[in-house]
């Protein structure tokens, strides 16, 4: 189970001024598309108003914050795991794999990783799972924004390839319109074949 924020704050206080990386993933509950994770190490003294759990932000606000996070000199790594790989190893393992990839691509030294949710990553490094971390921890919130914007942009691209599924509208989540399209057209190479598609 993820540690409460008070416990993590206590640990960080004992460490002095640790370099904290936030990690989060997006797309775990989708019927189509990849799972995308981001790892973010904010530069010292970085402050940006409005950073929050990406699900609480409008698309316009997410894009604005994304641009500011990327151009401010923060260290960012992104990991992507495809629908085919999700089918091969299951969505939980794919989510963890995406987060490990994001950390690997961060290519920065750090002291502590805070992971959104309950799961620890399969890595031997100082890490703490934090339930609702994307609402409680600034680096995790930043990671949620980076991952969400990148994944949404990918789904907008796929919308041009498969316009009948309207990926631009639902980004691969199991909306009524998406399930109806699946009933009518069947699945694509973007769809997770091990997921259940109920007809509407």
For 70, the token pair is 């990327």
Q: Where are the domains of the chain?
A: 5-185
Residue 197 CB partners (closer than 8 Å, separation 6+): 31, 174, 179, 182, 183, 187, 191
| Residues 72-106 pLDDT 10s | 999 999 999 999 999 999 999 999 999 999 999 99
Q: Half-sphere exposure of residue 82, counting CA atoms within 13 Å on the CB side?
A: 7
Residue range 59-73: average pLDDT? 96
Give the per-residue pLDDT at 5: 58
Backbone angles phi, psi at 52, to 5 degrees: -155, 180
Residue range 5-13: average pLDDT? 62
The band of 200, judged by pLDDT with boundaries at 50, 70 and 90, is very low
| CATH among 1.20.58.100, 3.50.50.60, 3.30.420.10, 1.20.1560.10 for 5-185 | 3.30.420.10
Is 3 a residue whose pLDDT tops 60? no
């Amino acid at each position: 189970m993820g540690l409460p924020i008070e416990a993590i704050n206590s640990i960080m206080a004992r460490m002095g001024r640790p370099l904290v990386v936030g990690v989060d993933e997006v797309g775990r509950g989708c019927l189509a598309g990849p799972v995308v994770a981001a790892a973010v190490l904010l530069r010292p003294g970085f402050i940006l108003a409005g950073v929050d759990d990406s699900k609480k932000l409008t698309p316009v606000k997410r894009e604005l914050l994304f641009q500011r996070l990327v151009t401010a000199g923060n260290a960012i790594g992104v990991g992507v795991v495809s629908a085919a790989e999700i089918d091969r190893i299951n969505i939980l393992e794919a989510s963890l794999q995406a987060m490990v990839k994001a950390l690997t691509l961060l290519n920065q030294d750090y002291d502590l990783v805070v992971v959104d949710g309950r799961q620890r990553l399969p890595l031997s490094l100082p890490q703490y799972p934090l339930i609702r971390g994307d609402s409680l921890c600034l680096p995790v919130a930043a990671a949620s924004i980076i991952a969400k914007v990148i994944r949404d942009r990918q789904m907008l691209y796929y919308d041009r390839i498969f316009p009948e599924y309207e990926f631009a509208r639902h980004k691969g989540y199991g909306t009524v319109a998406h399930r109806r399209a699946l009933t009518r057209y069947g699945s694509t190479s973007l769809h997770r074949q091990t997921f259940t598609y109920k007809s509407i």
